[in-house]
Structure 1
Amino acid sequence: MFQATEIKRLVEQGLPCEFVAIEGDDGVHFSGVVVSREFEGKMRVRQHQAVYATLGTLMGNEIHALQLQTYTPAQWAELQKS
């Protein structure tokens, strides 16, 4: 079983992030929010691929599913206002 804290650590290690929150309590299904400047100008699918790349072969193996919400810092700031 995999821990949400380990996914958070790997994402933060592999991608410059302003904010990362990962949740999941069954060890294989997770959800998360990732905010990064790296997402600027990228379509949502490319943003998610960038996060998945930080996890490498864990995706689809130890980590069965990771539902993501990705934001640029500007998008995140707007969301926090509402």
Structure 2
Amino acid sequence: MFEASEIKRLIEQGLPCDFVAIEGDDGVHFTGVVVSAAFEGKLRVRQHQAVYATLGALMGNEIHALQLQTLTPAQWEEGRGELGM
């Protein structure tokens, strides 16, 4: 079983982030929001790959699923209210 706080720490360590929130109750399935300027100009699939890269071999092993919403800082400012954050 894995902790959401550890996933958050690894993402923040491996990617310059403005905001990271990770949740998960069962230790293997997680959801999250990651906001980073590094996502500017990248397709959503590339944004997700950048996040998964920070987790390395944990993805598909200790972490069975991580449902992501990735945003640039501008998108975050525009849509933050809709996300309830």
- The TM-score bracket by the shorter chain reads over 0.9
**What count of residue pairs does the alignment treat as equivalent?**
82
- Displacement of 1:80: 2.2
Percent identical pairs in the alignment equals: 82
TM-score, normalised to structure 2, is 0.94
Which residue pairs with 1:46 in the alignment?
A: 46
- RMSD over equivalenced CA pairs, Å: 0.8
Runs of 4+ in 1 over 6 A off after TM superposition: none
The two structures have a TM-score, normalised by structure 1, of 0.98
Q: Which residue of 1 aligns with 2:65?
A: 65
Tell me the amino acid that sits aligned with residue 15 of structure 2. Answer: L
Unaligned runs of 5+ residues in structure 1 are none
Matched residue of 2:20: which SS?
Answer: strand
1:8-55 deviation line (CA, Å, top 9, x unaligned): 000000000000000001000000000000000000000000000000
